[in-house]
Amino acid sequence: MMNMKIINKAAPHLGNPSFFTLFRSYSALGITNSTHLENLIRKRCKSGTLKLDEALGFFNSLIHTRPMPSIWAFSQLIGPLSKLNDYSTAISMFKEMMRCVDFCPDVCTMAIVINCYCRLNKVDLGFSVLAIILKHGLQTDAIAFNTLLHGLCRQSESMDDAVELFEGIVGRGDPCDQITYATIIGGWKIKPSVDCFNPFIDTLCKERHVDKALELFQDMVNQDVQPDVVTYTALFHGLCKSGRVEEAKKFLNDMTDCGISPDVYTYNTLIDSLCKEDKNPRSNFTF
């Protein structure tokens, strides 16, 4: 039988007596084929009217079906429960899935569970799910990391941990996207300033993710946040270190056009890059 903790957890919310019939398994209705069961679950989930008692009935059938149905079917049930804000039941379902011998996790399901833990302000347990992903050798995506970042940013006392996580993501080359940047910057709960953007642009450049740094720079400009000498110098240095000297020179021109004076570090970086390319700094640029 399905773990009784799930039933006890859900019992106060179950006003529909059909739950007990559903829980005995849909096999009683002649649904013994896993493909048929999965199709039925797909149809009910797409309807947007799936209730807790029905989801539990489907889940009970899935974990007792052999061969084990696809992980997609389980995710289809956990997802709606998460959207219904029934995070605890979704997590209980996941734990029950983990006990199944044939269970093989996927990133999509794990991301849903991470979100459930974060919504319950249990971000540390969200990280334990991330550990399971990595243990199984799965390639995680930006969604999982963004969810953890968002969970940390919701707790103002955890912003240092959020910044550390971001730096780790960038340093390891883990997936990140515009939502990643928006989450970490928005976590400060203030109107974004250049000082919010600069540390992340600098980190991306130092890790040679210059294109991502340029995307973040454009986002900053689009939000009417004016770059300063620190912003330009970080981008300039990142472009030079990546061998993109011509682009770096353009940034230096833009910088001076905006009335921002380059510092000695900026010029030294350019000279160093031109020398490495066996070019004469004086013939390539007017200082």
Domain count, the chain: 2
Range of the domain at 235: 191-287
Per DSSP, helices labelled H in 84-228 are 87-98, 107-119, 123-135, 142-154, 159-172, 178-186, 194-206, 210-222
Q: Establish if 259 belongs to a structural domain.
A: yes
161 inside domain = no
> Apex CA 256: angle with CA 252 and CA 260, to 5°?
110
* Alpha-carbon span 108 to 139, nearest angstrom: 11
Residue 137 belongs to a domain: no
Q: Which of 53, 76, 104 is the last residue of a domain?
A: 104
CATH number for the domain that contains residue 198: 1.25.40.10
DSSP per-residue letters across 248-260 = HHHHHHHHHHTTP
pLDDT score for 267: 75
Residue 38 lies in a domain: yes
Residues 6+ apart with CB under 8 A from 205: 213, 234, 235, 237, 238, 241
Q: Taking residues 269-280, what's their average pLDDT?
A: 66
Among residues 104, 125, 158, the one where a domain terminates is 104
Q: Tokens at residue 216, please?
A: 């973040």
> Which pTM value belongs to this model?
0.65
Residue 160 has pLDDT above 50, yes or no: yes
| Average pLDDT of the residues in 20-24 | 41
The residue that leads in pLDDT, 235 or 49, is: 235
37 in any annotated domain: yes
For residue 28, being part of any structural domain is answered with: yes
For residue range 30-74, what is the model confidence (pLDDT) as tens digits? 445 678 888 888 888 888 788 888 888 888 888 777 777 777 788
Is the pLDDT reported for residue 3 higher than 50? no
Of 104, 134, 161, the position where a domain reaches its end is 104
Burial class (CB in 10 A: 0-12, 13-18, 19+), 81: buried
Residue 126 scores a pLDDT above 90: yes
CA 114, CA 285: separation in Å to the nearest integer?
Answer: 52
Tell whether the model's pLDDT for residue 21 goes beyond 60. no
pLDDT of the residue at 103: 67
Residue 124 contacts residue 161 (beta carbons within 8 Å): no
What was the pLDDT predicted at 10?
A: 44
Whether residue 135 lies inside any domain: the answer is no
109, part of any domain: no
Q: What pLDDT does residue 28 have? A: 45
Determine the average pLDDT of the residues in 175-190: 80
Q: What is the pLDDT of residue 29?
A: 45
pLDDT at 113: 94
Check whether 16 has a pLDDT greater than 50: no
pLDDT of residue 101: 56
When mean pLDDT is compared across 91-105, 193-207, 220-234, 269-283, the lowest value belongs to 269-283
Greater confidence (125 vs 255) lies with: 125
Q: pLDDT > 90: what percent of the chain? A: 16
